[in-house]
Amino acid sequence: MTLEKKKILILRGNGHFDKLSGIQLEKELIKQGYDVHFHKYSHWPQEGTPGWDQKPEDINFELELDNLKQYFEQNGAPDYVLAKSAGSVVTSLAIQKGLINPKKVILMGLPMKWKHPFVHGKLEEIIRNTPLPIGTRFIQESEDPFGGYEMIKEIFGNHILDQDYVLHEIEGNNHQYNYSDELMNIINDYFSN
């Protein structure tokens, strides 16, 4: 009898360099036996094309939700979601709209200070109104420029406790959440149980 691989959806941040770190996470999770879909946003330029290393336009949340809906219709919805920054917003909106109902979710680098017009001043409400699964993990850098660990703890502390979520602090100050042993240990511990 063969066990079915768990499907993981990776949704990274707005910046196109998130694409490179997302590819690395995707490869690592595939090596560990997961069925992984790393969603590449429409606004990310193709590597090697003119301007691919320049800052892209900002994410279009509605377009990405439509793209994900089409993907899920063809390939099925994920069991787990690993999201960072803008990807945390996409995840929350997809859950709210009923596009996905993941068993496990990790939200990294909540961008509380991001000035994107869709998110600015609204992210707390978006997260609070999302029925995330019990045990959801939040991972925040200690000095994340978009909102460090202490800010997230202050804003969401009681909500996290009331919902049986877990908040992890990792060292960092650059909002990257790139592959590291510390990060992979948190991900593996949660997704493998």
By CB atoms closer than 10 A (0-12, 13-18, 19+), residue 98 is exposed
Q: Which residue has the tokens 């790393």?
A: 38
**Pairing state of beta strands 35-38 and 7-11?**
parallel
Using CA atoms, how far apart are residues 183 and 24, in angstroms rounded to an integer?
13
Nearest to 105 by CA among 3, 179, 6, 9: 9
Using CA atoms, how far apart are residues 91 and 106, in angstroms rounded to an integer?
10
Q: For residue range 32-73, what is the model confidence (pLDDT) as tens digits?
A: 999 999 999 988 876 666 665 556 578 999 999 999 999 999
Using CA atoms, how far apart are residues 24 and 19, in angstroms rounded to an integer?
9
Q: For residue range 182-192, what is the model confidence (pLDDT) as tens digits?
A: 999 999 999 99
Q: For residue range 101-117, what is the model confidence (pLDDT) as tens digits?
A: 999 999 999 999 999 99
Asked if residue 127 has pLDDT above 90, the reply is yes
Mean pLDDT score, 27-36: 94
Asked if residue 31 has pLDDT above 80, the reply is yes
Using CA atoms, how far apart are residues 177 and 44, in angstroms rounded to an integer?
18
Instruction: Name the percent of the chain lying above pLDDT 90.
Output: 77
